[in-house]
Amino acid sequence: MRILANDGIAQEGVEALKANGFEVLTVNVAQEQLISYINTRNIEVLLVRSATQVQKDIIDECPNLKLIGRGGVGLDNIDVAYAEKKGIHVINTPEASSASVAELVFAHLYGGVRYLYDSNRNMPLDGDSKFKELKKSYAKGSELKGKTLGIIGFGKIGQATAKIALGVGMKVIYHDTEVEKMTVSIPFFDGQEVSFNLSNTPKEELLKTSDFITIHTPKQTAYVIGKSEFNSMKDGVGIINTSRGGALDEVALVDALKQRKVSFAGLDVFESEPKPEIPILMHPDISLTPHIGGATQEAQSRIGLELASKITNLLK
């Protein structure tokens, strides 16, 4: 059985699949050539990340497809319902990249409260001539310990984020439309484990009481945070979005930064991705990364192995 990993797959996943008798092709085929490639090479399993779109045209015109796999959490780029209606398995890896995304959230948070996003822009320019002025400017940072982190969306990534926050000493509250209660357990290096019982918080209360807010929702039809939500927040709040471009109203964000309602933002995803808007890219109070939440070596290894395991279980 032949597999096309069109957006790549970790070598550990390739080896696991080969060990179970699969042939794995890791070439990157352009979207407009994908149907022809799948059919001429008798591809039965198509693996993608976020770049390749798997919609009705591919599903209808590639009758040999038995399984579509997404290396990551979201399935926004796959017409899941239509594929399953056609008898095609659709799988993803909801847990494999959770820790990596959660750590990126805290990279943005720590960078925000200590102004690293701005310091790293200005030190190369003026560090040799205005060292004392820069030192004074960036000497008003704050700690995360003791602050309240509001998590909107409490799936696997939201829970992973909560674990780090609790370990740091933050108070954690969350809002989720489906998860009313959750026990979050934090394992430590020596085998010890500490558990926390958390309950769903109304969104309005979360907005009013959180010092920092991080978004971890699936794709939405409307903004999770827009102008009205910003108006409900505490002054000086920090905002992180590593979930989906479009979850956060970027125009309203820029206004909130201008009014100092928001002190800083950390963005890994963007409304107009892969061409983020210039006012976002150039804003001095926004920490920026190019959609790399799950892009760590460890996460990619786990994703590859999880895909291999699921494919083997379903097709062997």
Q: Per residue in 153-173, is it b (16+ CB within 10 Å) or e — as a string?
A: bbbbbbbbbbbbbbebebebb
Burial of 224: CB neighbours in 10 Å, binned 0-12, 13-18, 19+: buried
Burial of 217: CB neighbours in 10 Å, binned 0-12, 13-18, 19+: buried
- Closest residue by Cα to residue 67 from 46, 36, 85: 46
Q: Report CA-CA distances (Å) from 303 to 53, 130, 186, 313.
A: 19, 46, 22, 15
Q: In the numeric block, which tokens belong to residue 259?
A: 């009014």
| 148-152 vs 171-175, strand pairing mode | parallel
Residues forming the active site: 244, 273, 291
Strand ranges in the chain using DSSP code E only, listed in sequence order = 2-5, 23-25, 45-48, 67-70, 89-92, 148-152, 171-175, 181-187, 193-199, 212-215, 237-241, 262-267, 286-288
Q: How far is it, in rounded angstroms, from Cα 82 to Cα 66?
A: 13
Contact 294, 2 (CB under 8 A): no
Q: In the numeric block, which tokens belong to residue 50?
A: 């976020």
Contact 166, 130 (CB under 8 A): no
Q: Report CA-CA distances (Å) from 121 to 125, 135, 253.
A: 7, 14, 21
Q: In the numeric block, which tokens belong to residue 63?
A: 């009758």
